[in-house]
Structure 1
Amino acid sequence: MRTGPGAVKRRALQSSASDLVECRPLGTEGWWPGLVTPKAAGVDLVGWAQTSRDHVAALLARHKALLFRGFDRQSADQLSDFVAATSDNSLLDYKDRTTPREALGKKLYTSTSYPADRRIELHNEGTYWRRWPLKLYFACGVAAESGGETPLANVARVLDRLSPQTVARFEEAGFTLVRRFNDGFGLPWQEVFQTEDRAEVEAFCRENAIAFEWGEDDRLATRQTRPAIRRHPASGERVWFNHAAFFHVSAYAGPDRDALEAELGSDRMPYATTFGDGSEIPVAVVEEVLAAYHAEERRFPWEAGDILLVDNMSVAHGRQPYTGERRTLVAMAEPHDG
C-alpha cells in the first residue's frame, strides 16, 4: 500500500468531498440557481466532482441549476472531464439543428452563432426532439465585455403563471414545429441533418416521428408534433417544455420578419409553430407565454472559467445581447426518450 503525504491528501479528499464546497442561491427572491464555491483554496473542481457525484446530483435536484465558480485550475477546457464526473457521460450529437454551432470534438460545441446585438429568447433544449438531454453544460471561456448573460427560468414556475385556458389548450393539443429548408433562409437541410444523403434524412425523420415532404429544387419541409407540457422523469413535476413561442412567426424580429414575408410569403417562413392539431396559436397566447418566461427570468454575469450545469427539463435558458468577444462551450448529456 502506498503511503505518504500524497496518499493522506487523497484519502482526506475522498472522505470529506461534500464538506469542501458550499452552495447558496445566487439571489434572494424566489427561485435562483445555486452558486457552488470552494470553502478553501486548492480544491480542484474535476477532482472534487469525481468523488462527489451523489452530492452534485442532490444539489442539482434542489436548485435545478448550479454555477461552479472559484475552483483551482477551473477552465472551460475541463468541460469534458467535468461532464464525465457529473453525468453518465452519454452525450448527444447536435442533430436536427435549428442554429449554427461549431463542433469541437468529444461532442462539445460552441454556443449558438447568432448576431451579438440580438437576444435569444428562453427555451429548453430539444423540446421538439424525440430524445433530448436531461443535463446541459455551459463553460465560459471568454466573458463578453458587456452583456452576454445566459438568462435562466424555472419552467414549472412559468407553467404556473399561464392561464388555465392556455394550459388546457396546450395540454390537449401539444404543439407542432413546421420547418422549411433551402429557400435561402435559415440552415439548409444538409447542415441540419449532417448529411448530403436524402435517404439518411428520410430514415432519421421516420425514426423520430417527423413528417417530411420534398419539393422542387431539393427543398424539404418537415413537421413534428410533440407534447407542450411534460412531467420531469425524476421529480414528477409538471413543466412547460416546448418551443411554441420561440419559433412562432410573431417571434421574428420586426425588420427580419418583414423581409422574410416579402420574399417568401407568410406561409413559407423557415420556422413556424401551431397547436398540435394544426390550428393557429394566437399572438396573444405567445405574448402570454413570453411574459411568463420574462417574469421568471434570472441572470448573472459570466466570469471566465465558470461552468453552469442545468437540469434541462426544469430550467430554460437564453442569451442576452453583448459587446466584445464571447466564447461559451456547450455539452448535452444524459439523453431521455419522450
Structure 2
Amino acid sequence: MSAQTDAGQKVVPANASSRWAGRVAAVLVGFDLFSAAARLIRSRDGGPGRPRWLPAGPRNRSGPEVNVPMATEDRRAGDPETQEAFRRLVELPEGAERERVRQEIIHAWLPMAHRLASRFRDRGETLEDLRQIAAVGLVSAVDRFDPDRSHSFVPFAVPTITGEIRRHFRDRMWSVHVPRRVQNLRNVVRVATAELGAEGTASLARLAEHTGLTEDEVRQGSEALHGFNALSLDAETSAGTGGALGEFLGASDGAFDLVLDREAAKPGLLSLAEREKRALYLRFFEGKTQSAIAAELGVSQMHVSRLIAGSCRRIRENALDEPDPRQNTPPSAR
C-alpha cells in the first residue's frame, strides 16, 4: 500500500517498485527473444532482416525491386493453356476434335460459373437451377469469345454469365407475366421508395415528382412491386376473418347456367328460315315492337306474331327432344 507525506506526495513502497521493474524486464526479454527468432527464420531471398512469412516485395527504396503479381478474379485468367485452347477452338473446323476442345474449355471454366451463380442465391430460385443457367451463359461466352481481341476470358465471360442469370430472373421468375415497360417502372419506383424512405411513406405525387414519371406510371410500378411472387389461394387471411384466401375471391357466374341453354337452342335456330331468324333478332336482341318489325319486314303485325310464336315453339321442341343416337353413328358402323 502507498502512503502520503505531510506535503501530500504519494510514497510507493520498495516492494511495489520491485514488482513493476520485474514486469518491465520480462517484457523486454520477451521482445529480444522474438527478434532473435525472427532473425533465425528470415528468408534468404527476402533481404536482410526480412522474416519468411512476410510477402515478397520491395523492402525499401534502396533495396532491389521485386515484382508482385496482382490478384486476378480467376486463377485461369492468365493461363496460357487456356488461351491456347481458345486459339485452337477458333482455328479448328467443325468436327469431333473441335467439340472435344470446346468441352474441355467449358469444364475448365465451370467452377467460375458456379461461383457467379452463388451470388444470386436466396432470391426464390434453387442453387442447382442457378448453376444450370450460369452454365448456359458460360457456353454462350465460350462460343463467342475471340482470343485475338482479348487476352483474358474473364472480363468477357463474367458479364455474359451474370446477364444470363439476370435475364432469367427478369423473364422467368414472375408468377404473372408483366410487360418489360412495367418491370422498368417497378425498378424506378422501388429505388425511389428506398431513397425517400427517410421521409416516411411517400405519396404518389411525391414519387412522381422525384422520378419524373406520371402518377399513373408510378401506380403501375407500385402494383408491380407485389407481383413478383403470387400468393397462394390456400393462404390464411388476416386474423379475425378465418378461412383461406380463395374462399373470399370470385363468385358464381350466372352465365354458366346459360351455356347449356344456348347450346340446346342452337340447332333449332339454325333450322329456321331467314325471315324467322330476322324476326327473332329484331324482337329479342333489338327490343323492337311487333309493329316495327312488321313495317321492316313488309308484313302484317299478325303475321309477325305467328312467325315469332311458331319459331319459338320449334326451337323449344328441338331442344327438349332427345337426339337419336343413330344420327351420330358413322355410316360405316351402321
Could you say whether these structures have the same fold, taking a TM-score greater than 0.5 normalized by the shorter chain as the test?
no
For the pair shown, the structure with the greater C-alpha radius of gyration is: 2
What is the TM-score with the length of structure 1 in the denominator?
Answer: 0.19
* TM-score of the pair, normalised by structure 2: 0.20
Decide which structure has greater strand share: 1
More helix by share: 2
